Amino acid sequence: MDPLRIGIAGLGTVGAGTVEVLQKHGALIAARAGREIEITAVSARSKTLDRGFSIEDFDWYDDPTLMAEAENIDLVVELIGGSDGVAEALVENALAAGKHVVTANKALIAHHGNELAALAEKNNAALYCEAAVAGGIPILKSLREGMAANAVTRVYGILNGTCNYILTEMRDTGRSFEDVLEEAQKLGFAESDPTFDVDGIDTAHKLAILSALSFGTKVDFDGIHIEGIRAIASIDMEFAEELGYGIKLLGIASMNDGVVEQRVHPCMVPIDAPINHVEGSYNAVVADGDFVDTVFLEGRGAGGGPTASAVIADILDIARGARVPLFGVPVAQLANTATRDMNQHYGAYYVRFNVVDRIGVFADISRALADHHVSMESVLQRSRDPEQIVPVVMTMHETDEGALRNTIEQITAMDAVVEPPVVIRIETF
Amino acid sequence: MDPLRIGIAGLGTVGAGTVEVLQKHGALIAARAGREIEITAVSARSKTLDRGFSIEDFDWYDDPTLMAEAENIDLVVELIGGSDGVAEALVENALAAGKHVVTANKALIAHHGNELAALAEKNNAALYCEAAVAGGIPILKSLREGMAANAVTRVYGILNGTCNYILTEMRDTGRSFEDVLEEAQKLGFAESDPTFDVDGIDTAHKLAILSALSFGTKVDFDGIHIEGIRAIASIDMEFAEELGYGIKLLGIASMNDGVVEQRVHPCMVPIDAPINHVEGSYNAVVADGDFVDTVFLEGRGAGGGPTASAVIADILDIARGARVPLFGVPVAQLANTATRDMNQHYGAYYVRFNVVDRIGVFADISRALADHHVSMESVLQRSRDPEQIVPVVMTMHETDEGALRNTIEQITAMDAVVEPPVVIRIETF
């Protein structure tokens, strides 16, 4: 069979890793693909940067979007990143020209996945993005193919290694969020602008893709409730442990009675739950299918090697002739499902108020809870020095989030409550 | 596209589950497959047993091997079981007739996988067996496709839910192996003849398949060193915990310098290792790839729903046109790799001797270790009543198993040593 000829746009860590793996394992990969995978063209910002291989063997493109017109490219690997701009133009043009596309770009697929998947179908091109979610973990393939006999009811995971690293360090060392973030930035584990990671946006990009694939619904990034980890204090880590929980930033999507709920926020998870054992920069995804029950996958969520591994798995699939739609079924068959508003979310909660310790405060708080029919499960208070500011921690039995928010609003308005409370949802997997 | 017409041979838990899922999720599965999956024929021992669905809709075969000749069957699902006999005849005949085959039969593939995969290739038929290994966990697909960019260096896992259930119960309740096995048999978790499970043979069948797929080597069941869990006593569970380990029955295959090592035996694993958190009847597989690093998958290893989920994933792949070779590359390209003899295994060990507690015994044992250059890491002794039989537990630093065996032989021959010792290999993942 003819070689599959690929053009790689973007030669950062993942792009350079992809070239490295294809060169090192050329024979192995050809045996598995049943044909050669040949890099014919590359594009990057710098032509002169030393990446450990010679770019002389490949056609060079200053403008990657021109790869879409190249006669000697069957498949474009988009590793530029960003939800719009050059990456979007390249993928659109390549698909429109009938070229296959493999991308690691979660923002692009989260924002434009429906249109791009439809464009791919229209032009009989394959579009895959395994590397966009959870790096080296073959989670999209597992959902799309391995669990294809199931109606998936829930999918959730630790999808951002930076946040998981920060939370793990906070737990293990007792240090503050800011402190650990700064260190992570110095070590290169966090970006200089950490917004996408620590504010949950990166996790939400990935969750949007998981959700569409799991439930056969259109990608709906805007339907995701997103909170990051900036508000978590080391004292919350201590309280969590005392209550038998760990704190993880999770992306959670579930399908109940035809309504999808998509949310990204810090969660308290049982200390013994498998997801709580996912440490440092690892990622993990848990999927519940109605026949297979629960499947749990864990591995490296980032890095050149793991991400290149996922990119090449997609390339290999295409080389072997796979043409499964990006989201498991053709875009025309994806449902336009309403997303549940977070006020309708039903769950348990951890709430930490900072209050001035004086007589009657607790009675006022208790009355506010009762007024809104919110049922307290437990309360923890660290110290009792009159007129000092003390943390009061409560866990609430399952309740509607709307009721909880109204309660908290009422409590926060009290004179003795000195800061906005920290609210962490409790998940019992 | 025309429907894919399937014949199901064997209507036990998995076969009936397969019919149930195909009927319940017919529309969903057709959307994902891009075509209908139509059951045209079934075969089972009893035609009259109530399985919750009517067999009137399907052609009935008393002799399943005749399915191979049926005009209206494109794909045979073999769920009869057994490494030879009817199952083998059916699969051979079906493949020879150019029909695709999906099977959950680990014994068949472990013993005849090379020949059957070659027969499938020769006749342009697909042969898949996802359900044969770790039930609902999509591990074969993950290795064959998701990790296809990697040279896999090691794969190991908990592949038998019965053993894991027994070991988990022994740990949690302090009861004996016999006691827990008997209970498991009453509860239907263990067969009345538990040999295949508790003696490690079932695990070895699965490991043979994982090993071939991971390393691109011919299936070599006979090259597997197999030990079961009958020798594990509750006192070993206690000592393990004291030493910071859990005890799990693992199948482990590794590839080093072109030599494959395949072994099934109880292992001590670090108490914090993810594999040690796999509880009860769950299965898990861990694979190390040279670029993806470590990938960990956990889920249900048995049961009608999970196994049917895996069977149907294979059917769906075939319906979509997938024709990846069973072991990732054509049989002619699988290597004939030598298996390492266990005497050459290099690792750490836990050894429990039962000795009569008298002066000089410990000196004799120490001398035997020194004679064979085996280095002790730690020693535990529970009590010291002269002339009583007491357990003496030692852990050994990494050593050649041959040297260890010679040492143990010498120690076991001593008068004061009253029973064959229990030897458990220590793995540090």
Contact at CB, B151 and A25, closer than 8 angstroms: yes
| Closest residue to B295, CB basis, from A137, A294, A305 | A137
Q: Which of A66-70, A204-208, A338-342 has the lowest mean pLDDT?
A: A338-342
CA–CA gap between residue B85 and residue B106 (Å, rounded): 14
Contact at CB, B146 and A142, closer than 8 angstroms: yes
From A356's Cα to the closest Cα of chain B, the distance in A is 41
**Are A155 and A237 members of one domain?**
yes
Question: Please, what is the average pLDDT of chain B?
Answer: 96
CA–CA gap between residue A224 and residue A261 (Å, rounded): 8
- In CATH, what number is assigned to the domain containing residue A35? 3.40.50.720
Contact at CB, A148 and B316, closer than 8 angstroms: yes
Q: What is the mean predicted confidence (pLDDT) over B90-116?
A: 98
* pLDDT for the residue numbered B25: 98
A122 included as an active-site residue: no
**Are A128 and A162 members of one domain?**
no
Dihedral through CA B310, CA B35, CA B50, CA B299, nearest 10?
20
**Are A232 and A278 members of one domain?**
yes
In-domain check, residue A63? yes
Contact at CB, A324 and B320, closer than 8 angstroms: yes
Q: What is the mean predicted confidence (pLDDT) over A259-271?
A: 97
In-domain check, residue B28? yes
Q: For tokens 């864990």, name the residue.
A: A298
Question: If you measure CA to CA, which chain B residue comes closest to A305?
Answer: B291
In-domain check, residue A338? no
Q: Which residues on A lie below 8 Å from B321 (Cβ)?
A: 321-323
Contact at CB, B306 and A296, closer than 8 angstroms: no
Question: If you measure CA to CA, which chain A residue comes closest to B26?
Answer: A149
- In CATH, what number is assigned to the domain containing residue A280? 3.30.360.10
Q: Which of A132, A159, A174 is at the close of a domain?
A: A132
| pLDDT band (50, 70, 90) for residue A367 | very high
Question: If you measure CA to CA, which chain A residue comes closest to B313?
Answer: A146
* pLDDT for the residue numbered A295: 98
Q: Which residues on A lie below 8 Å from B32 (Cβ)?
A: 148, 328-329
Report H helices in A282-383.
304-319, 361-371
Given B106, B206, B218, B248, the catalytic residue: B206
| Sequential DSSP letters for A162-181 | HHHHHHHHHHHH---HHHHH
Report the domain count for chain B: 3
Contact at CB, B292 and A306, closer than 8 angstroms: yes
B108-163, pLDDT tens digit by residue?
Answer: 999 999 999 999 999 999 999 999 999 999 999 999 999 999 999 999 999 999 99
Question: If you measure CA to CA, which chain A residue comes closest to B297?
Answer: A297
Contact at CB, A138 and B146, closer than 8 angstroms: yes
Residue A217 is classified by DSSP as B
Q: Which residues on B lie below 8 Å from A39 (Cβ)?
A: none
CA–CA gap between residue A103 and residue A9 (Å, rounded): 10
Q: Which residues on A lie below 8 Å from B137 (Cβ)?
A: 295
**A59 CB neighbour count, 10 Å cutoff:** 16
In-domain check, residue B322? no
- In CATH, what number is assigned to the domain containing residue A411? 3.30.70.260
* pLDDT for the residue numbered A172: 96
Q: Which helix (H) or strand (E) holds A260?
A: strand A259-270
**Are B250 and B103 members of one domain?**
no
* pLDDT for the residue numbered B358: 85
From B420's Cα to the closest Cα of chain A, the distance in A is 37
In-domain check, residue A167? yes
B166-189, pLDDT tens digit by residue?
Answer: 999 999 999 999 999 999 999 888
**Are A145 and A292 members of one domain?**
yes
**Are B147 and B294 members of one domain?**
yes
Phi and psi, residue B322, nearest 5°? -65, 135
B260-279, pLDDT tens digit by residue?
Answer: 999 999 999 999 999 999 99
Q: Which residues on B lie below 8 Å from A295 (Cβ)?
A: 136-138, 297-299
From B312's Cα to the closest Cα of chain A, the distance in A is 6
Packing angle, helices B201-215 and B106-122, rounded to 10: 30
| pLDDT band (50, 70, 90) for residue B408 | very high
Hey, is B73 helix, strand or coil? Answer: coil
Given A99, A106, A141, A206, the catalytic residue: A206
Asked if residue B234 has pLDDT above 70, the reply is yes
**Are B125 and B247 members of one domain?**
no
Q: How far is CA A401 from the centre of its chain?
A: 23
* Residue range(s) defining the domain that contains residue B33: 4-132
Query: Residue A423 corresponds to which amino acid?
Result: V
* pLDDT for the residue numbered B383: 67
B299-331, pLDDT tens digit by residue?
Answer: 999 999 999 999 999 999 999 999 999 999 999
CA–CA gap between residue A372 and residue A399 (Å, rounded): 10
**Are A124 and A188 members of one domain?**
no
**Are A216 and A292 members of one domain?**
yes
Contact at CB, B141 and A142, closer than 8 angstroms: yes
Whether the CB-CB separation of B263 and B101 falls below 8 Å is answered with: no
* pLDDT for the residue numbered A384: 67
Q: Which of A276, A300, A324 is at the close of a domain?
A: A300
A385 CB contacts (<8 Å, ≥6 apart)?
A357
Contact at CB, A145 and B313, closer than 8 angstroms: yes
Question: If you measure CA to CA, which chain B residue comes closest to A303?
Answer: B292
| Sequential DSSP letters for B5-35 | EEEEE--SHHHHHHHHHHHHTHHHHHHHHTS
Q: Report percent pLDDT > 90 for chain B.
A: 93
Q: Which residues on B lie below 8 Å from A124 (Cβ)?
A: none
CA–CA gap between residue A374 and residue A391 (Å, rounded): 20
Contact at CB, B308 and A150, closer than 8 angstroms: no
CA–CA gap between residue A131 and residue A77 (Å, rounded): 11
Is this model's pTM higher than 0.95 or not?
yes
| Closest residue to B142, CB basis, from A138, A323, A329 | A138
Asked if residue A265 has pLDDT above 90, the reply is yes
| Closest residue to B149, CB basis, from A21, A303, A321 | A21
Q: What is the mean predicted confidence (pLDDT) over A258-274?
A: 96
| pLDDT band (50, 70, 90) for residue B11 | very high
Positive or negative torsion for Cα B164, B166, B171, B177:
negative
**Are A150 and A287 members of one domain?**
yes
In-domain check, residue B375? yes
